[in-house]
Structure 1
C-alpha cells in the first residue's frame, strides 16, 4: 500500500506520510487512557486479538472523528500489528473516514432505483447548497456529504441517511430542509430507527459501546417507534387475502439426509470436535486427480511418460 506525499489518504489514514494535515485536524481530542482501556475491553471479546481491529477503528472515530495517524498507531500498538496492516484495513472500508468528518455524516443513495427516483438530483442540490462534493466537509464542520452506492432500502427510495439513520422517500426540498435543520443544531427524528445523535456517537455504538448517557435513554432509543409502511405492504395484503407462499418441495431422501447431517453437526459441536477439513464426495478414484508420475508435460503435449509403442504389423 502506498500513498502520494501530501495526500489525505497518506496522512489521515495510514499515518505513514509526514506531510501536514488540514488545520481542523491539528487540534484533535486525545486518545486517553480511558480510550486505551476501552480498546482492551474490545480486544478481550475475541479469541484472536487482531479480530478486534474493526471495532477499534470505530472507537478511534468516536473520539477523533476519523481514523487519524495517531489512531492508526494506537491500534497497531495495542494489537501488535504494523501501521501498514492497520492502514490497509482502514482504507478498504468506506465507513472509516480518511479525513476529519463533520458533526453529521449525510449519505445520499445514488444507486439505480434511488437515482431513477431522484437520488442524484438530491445529491446535486445538497452539493450546491453546502459548497462541497463527495466526501467533503463544510467549512463550519457541521456536515460531511457523501454519495452511497446502496443503502439497502430500495422500498423507501430515494433514501438519505444521517449518521446511518434513515430518512426515507426524500425529495430535493425535504432533503434540503433536513440538512438545514442539522446545520442549525437540530436533530430531526429519522423515519425509522433510533433518534439521531451524531457521527461520533454512532461510531461509539459501532465500536460496541452505548452512545447514550444512561440505560433508560438506551432503551428508549431501541424502542423508538418508526414507520415501516412500504416494507410491510406485501405482508398486510397477504394477510388480508389469506395468501401464503407454497411449501418448498423436498424429496424424502434429501430431507432425511439434511436432518441426519444437522444432527451429526450438533453432536460434533457438543463434543467440541473440530469441523472436518473436507468432505467425502463418495466418488473416490473417479475424480480428476492425476496419478503420481502421470502429470502433463510442460509443452502441453500429453503425459510426461509416453505410452508404450504399438506392436509392428505382422508381429504378435
Structure 2
C-alpha cells in the first residue's frame, strides 16, 4: 500500500507565499519541491503527485523537474547525504581517496545508506568549488572544503552528535593578494 503524504498548514502557507512571487504557478515548482523534500526527506513519485496537486500542475511537469535536478532525492536517503565530488579537480586532489575513506568508515558504498538511516554517500559531479578540492557537500547545504581523513572524522563525529559543521569561509588567494597591496 502506498504511503500517503500531506503538507502541514505551515507548509501550505509557505507554498502560497512562494506562488505569490510569480505571475504564473509553474515557476513555483522548484521551491515547492524544496518544501516537500524538507518535509518528507525525498520527492518520490507520491510526493511529486502531492506537489502537482497542490500547485494544480500536471504530474509529468513536476516529475520532469524533480528528475532533472540531482539535488532532489528521488528515493529515501539518510538523514545526512554526503555528496563527495569526484570530478577532475577533486579527483586529482584526492576526491576518490576521500570517497573510499568514507565508504570504509561508514561501512557502505556510494549510492547506499547506513542501516541506522543516518548517512547516505553519493559520488557526484562538480560542486562548483574546484579551488577547494577535494570537497563534499552535506545534504544540499554545507560545503566541507579541502577534505582530509582527519576532517572527515570530525565531520562524521559532529553529525552523529546532531551538529552540522560550521560554514567554512575560504578566501580567493588572488583577491587577497590584490586587496593587501
What is the CA–CA distance in structure 2 between the aligned matches of 1:85 and 1:185, rounded to whole Å?
36
Distance 1:129 1:239, change over 3 A: closer
Larger radius of gyration: 1
Matched positions, count: 180
> What TM-score does the superposition give when structure 1 sets the normalisation length?
0.52
Whether 2:16 is the aligned partner of 1:40: answer: yes
* Equivalent of 1:98 in 74, 95, 101: 74
> By how many angstroms is 1:68 displaced?
3.2
Give the match for residue 86 of structure 2. 110
Give the match for residue 178 of structure 2. 238
Deviations 1:18-57 (A, max 9, x none): 8x6xxxxx5x874223322322221111111111000000
* Equivalent of 1:67 in 40, 43, 61: 43
Contact 2:82–2:138 under 8 Å retained in 1: yes
Give the match for residue 161 of structure 1. 137
Instruction: Give unpaired runs (5+ residues) of structure 1.
Output: 1-17, 21-25, 193-227, 242-316
> What TM-score does the superposition give when structure 2 sets the normalisation length?
0.87
Deviations 1:84-121 (A, max 9, x none): 22111111110010112222221111111111111111
- After TM superposition, the structure 1 = structure 2 runs for residues 204-223 of structure 1, keeping only pairs within 5 Å, are none
Instruction: Give unpaired runs (5+ residues) of structure 2.
Output: none
Contact 2:78–2:113 under 8 Å retained in 1: yes
Quick one: higher RCO (CA 8 Å, sep 6+), 1 or 2?
A: 2
* Equivalent of 1:120 in 63, 78, 96: 96
> By how many angstroms is 1:240 displaced?
4.6
Hey, which of these two has a bigger chunk of helix by percent?
Answer: 2
Whether 2:61 is the aligned partner of 1:85: answer: yes
What is the CA–CA distance in structure 2 between the aligned matches of 1:176 and 1:115, rounded to whole Å?
20
Contact 2:5–2:47 under 8 Å retained in 1: no
* Equivalent of 1:179 in 142, 147, 156: 156
